[in-house]
Structure 1
Amino acid sequence: MPKIRFILSKQPDPALEEAAIIKRLKEFHSRLQDKRQISDGIPLEERAAHNELWRYPQNELPKALEIRIRRWAQKIHRNHLKDVEPTRLSREDRAMLEGCRGGAEIFDLRSAHHIDEIAAALHAEFPWIAEATTHVWRSLHHSLASGMPGARFAPILLDGPPGIGKSAWARRLAQLLGTPDMIVDATGENASFGLVGSQRGWSNAGPGRLVSLMLMRQIANPLVIIDEIEKSGSVMSDKGRSFSLPNALLPLLEEMTACRWTCPYFQNQFDMSFINWVFTSNSLRGLPEPLVSRIRVVSVPSPTQEQINELVLREAERRQLSPLITAAITTALAEAFEAGHQINIRTVKRMLELGSDQQGRPMLH
């Protein structure tokens, strides 16, 4: 997989770590003593005996010299950190960043045929979400034609009734692309802290889930699913500042700002422009206009009776359900449709699970 430069800020140089500096200073001291003795014409076998600094066990230095070297190393290391870290990071924080020092990998598109296969698979499994599939198909083709690395598509919002497979479509898309995915339940994220992190100085300061995932997996283009974005709340600080999830997302959805996004916790700049975003909602009411203007909104209808039947037959075959149980499920669904009931994917899954349980029961004698 290709790599991109993910951490844009200058990172601490391993060669300027305290232990590395001490090692180099000791090696320099040994070479310096050799040069002095060579210039004095002292034979190799007699050098140690003619220099009082060599009258101690091998690989050890006088205590006073050890202390001086350690102080020099600490001073050099501290001055280096002042240049590269606006906020002093702990050893654990630096270890998190270390894995992406050489860049982060991105899942790429193999060919135009690969994109067509992804769209065909999505359409076969989620035909009622065809408009969103077409949007992703066109975006991926545009990304491939532009020559930019990575599988990228424009942010999309799936708006429709609950339980019609919007999140399942997004997870399946991530699986087909081969990228890791992260699901954020907006109803449980009343503030932006969980996703993007919080600034140092707060009692619960820490990196956000998004940056942590990318650093841990060393991947620059995960697929992030924000579920039920319209239900996200807002937290107000004592000084009247609002920390809402939609507001925190705005710079991440705009390529010009996402490519140099500053993490509030690490105080480092990251290239977040390769992230793929899928939002879901049950209603557009209450969503801020700046957020909606950055996202392609797709209205997703409920699946038709024919599409529900195709889903049941496909899932029954995958679960190896008997024809009798499959027929019972399709008949029950047909009666529900005739009675005017609204059938969603969650209802179908529950019926399939009941059918699997029924088939797996031991026979009673």
Structure 2
Amino acid sequence: MSRFPIMKATFPDPSLNPRQISSHLARHLKWLRARRAGVDLSKEERHWPIEGEESERIRLSLDDMKRVDRHAVRLHDGVLRRTGLSHLNREDRQNLSSLKNGVALARISSLDHADELAARLHGEMPWMAPATEHAWHAMRRSVREGWAGFRMPPVILDGPPGIGKTYWVRRLGALIGTAKVDVDATGENASFGVVGCQRGWSSARPGRVLECIMAKLTGNPIVMIDELEKAGSVKSGRDQSFGLAEALLPLLEPSTAADWSCPYYRVRFDMSFVSWILLTNSLSPLPEPLLSRCMILRLQEIGLPDLISFAQREGQGRGLSETSIWSVTEALSRVAPAAPSRPSLRTVLRMLERAADLENKSVMT
């Protein structure tokens, strides 16, 4: 499989360090002096020291070596400048070296494959149909356009809590076979934890998205940001505001995402294959520039029939006994339609986990 060149920088030949360059230059200078001195050296005979008067005319003095070393450093600096990595220290270049051969991209093999994945996702969570349809169209377009990997336009899933938005994103990533980055917007320090920040801040880091790409060597992870509307912002000493929503803007636009500059490394990356899924319970606090860059899908409450069907399928998938599955579905079916507190998908998952714990406990005793 071909690798995707996500980093817009190159790594120099490891042998092109100042010491090696200096050695090559000194050797070449000795060779030139030997020729001028009339010493006939073939390619295979470039061995020193040379005996006699010629050795004095060929030998490099301490001043010669200082000049050679200075020239070697200048040449090496020029090589680094052309790579786009000259401003980084050795540790940073080492950290980024994992990307020098590119990264893998999860891809959809065919239109039939896209249809199969979408049908499976819809069968598991039919109440999430608008989101599944959005992903399905993205899968099919990835195949039709001949893209190197799967990419999905940024989407906002707006709906009440507890309907399974997070679970749906997790299943989408598992079915496609790509890495996933989970971000709780209420717990992140503005944009810093997601896209990184410049050095000088106490929390300086590359950002979780780039860290995932470097660790998993994948160029199209799915990034899920939960409760985006609750993300705060911080201010610098110059009274500049750094908010998560504003930091996402260049990454949500395909043209700017393809040439995105990491504020930590100050190196450009092609992030156009990253899929962004933003989860909200309310759209009102979000800025218009962010809303205009995303497909907005409004989701409805999950009904009891869907919850019961999900509990049956998930229970079977977890290998629970028929008795345990019946107990969970029976408890759900007894919820009054007009009850003030309705169970959510989160409730069902907890019930299934509890049933599994009880089964394992009975086996152990």
TM-score interval, normalised by the smaller of the two chains: 0.7 to 0.9
Aligned to 1:237: 236
Worse-superposed segment, 15-24 or 220-229: 15-24
- Over 3 Å counting, the alpha-carbon distance change for 1:28 and 1:328 in structure 2 is same
Change (3 A) 1:74 1:289: same
**In structure 2, do the counterparts of structure 1 residues 74 and 321 end up closer, same or farther at CA, with 3 Å as the change threshold?**
same
Distance 1:46 1:171 in 2: 66
Residue 118 of structure 1 aligns to a residue in which SS? Answer: helix
Specify the SS of the correspondent of 1:274: coil
- Give yes or no for the alignment of 1:300 onto 2:302: no
Distance 1:362 1:151 in 2: 45
Instruction: Note if contact 2:17-2:76 (Cα within 8 Å) is conserved in structure 1.
Output: yes
Letter in 2 for 1:145: R
Aligned-partner Cα distance in 1 for 2:171–2:344: 18
Residues 161-310 of structure 1: matches in 2 within 5 Å?
A: 161-310=160-309
Residue ranges of structure 2 left out of the alignment (5+ in a row): none
Q: CA, structure 1 residues 323+109, in 2 after alignment: closer, same or farther (shift >3 Å)?
A: closer
Q: Counterpart in 1 of 2:4?
A: 4
Equivalent of residue 50 in structure 2, options 36, 40, 48: 48
TM-superposition CA deviations, 1:37-90 (whole Å, max 9, x none)? 7x435896998323436999xxxx876655443333223223444555587211
Between 324-333 and 131-140, the greater mean CA deviation after superposition? 324-333
Residues 144-199 of structure 1 deviation map (CA, whole Å, 9 limit, x = unaligned): 21223211111111111212211111111111111111111111114111111112
Which deviates further from its counterpart, 146-155 or 98-107?
98-107
> What is the letter of the counterpart of residue 278 of structure 1?
I
| Offset at residue 265 of structure 1 (A) | 1.9
The one-letter code matched in structure 2 to 1:52 is S
Contact 1:199 1:264 (C-alpha < 8 Å) held by counterparts: yes
CA contact (8 A) 2:10 2:100 kept: no
C-alpha displacement at 1:126, in angstroms?
1.2
74-83 or 349-358, which deviates more: 74-83
SS at match of 1:110: coil
Q: What are the within-5 Å matches in structure 2 for residues 140-155 of structure 1?
A: 140-155=139-154
* CA gap 1:68/1:360 in 2 versus in 1, 3 angstroms: same
TM-score by length of 2: 0.87
Deviation, structure 1 residue 103: 3.2
For residues 164 and 356 of structure 1, what CA distance do their matches in structure 2 show?
22
Residues 132 and 185 of structure 1: is their aligned pair in 2 closer, same or farther, counting only changes over 3 Å? same
Residue in 1 aligned with 2:350?
A: 350
Gapped runs of 5+ residues in structure 1? none
Kindly provide the CA deviation profile for residues 203-239 of structure 1, in whole angstroms up to 9, marking residues without a partner as x.
4433222222223333221111111111111112222
Q: Identity of aligned pairs, percent?
A: 39
Distance across 1 between alignment mates of 2:214 and 2:48: 55
Distance 1:78 1:231, change over 3 A: same
CA separation of 1:212 and 1:28: change in aligned 2, threshold 3 A:
farther
3-state SS of the aligned residue for 1:277?
strand
Is the CA contact (8 Å cut-off) linking 1:2 and 1:107 kept in structure 2? no
Map residues 120-139 of structure 1 onto 2, 5 A cutoff.
Answer: 120-139=119-138
Partner of 2:17: 17
Q: Deviations over 1:238-294 (max 9, x none)?
A: 222110000000111011211111121222221111111111112222111111111
> Which region of structure 1 is more displaced relative to structure 2, 330-339 or 1-10?
1-10
What is the CA-CA distance between 1:122 and the residue it aligns to? Answer: 0.7
* Count of equivalent residues: 360
Q: Equivalent residue of 1:280, what SS?
A: strand
Alpha-carbon spacing, 1:363–1:128, altered in 2? closer, same or farther (3 Å): closer
Distance 2:124 2:113 in 1: 17
TM norm structure 1: 0.87
CA contact (8 A) 1:140 1:152 kept: yes
CA distance 1:104–1:47, change in 2 (3 Å): same
Cα drift, residue 309 of structure 1: 1.5
Distance of 1:149 and 1:242 partners within structure 2: 37
Q: In the aligned structure 2, how far is the partner of 1:306 from the partner of 1:103?
A: 47
Separation in 1 of the partners of 2:195 and 2:41?
A: 65
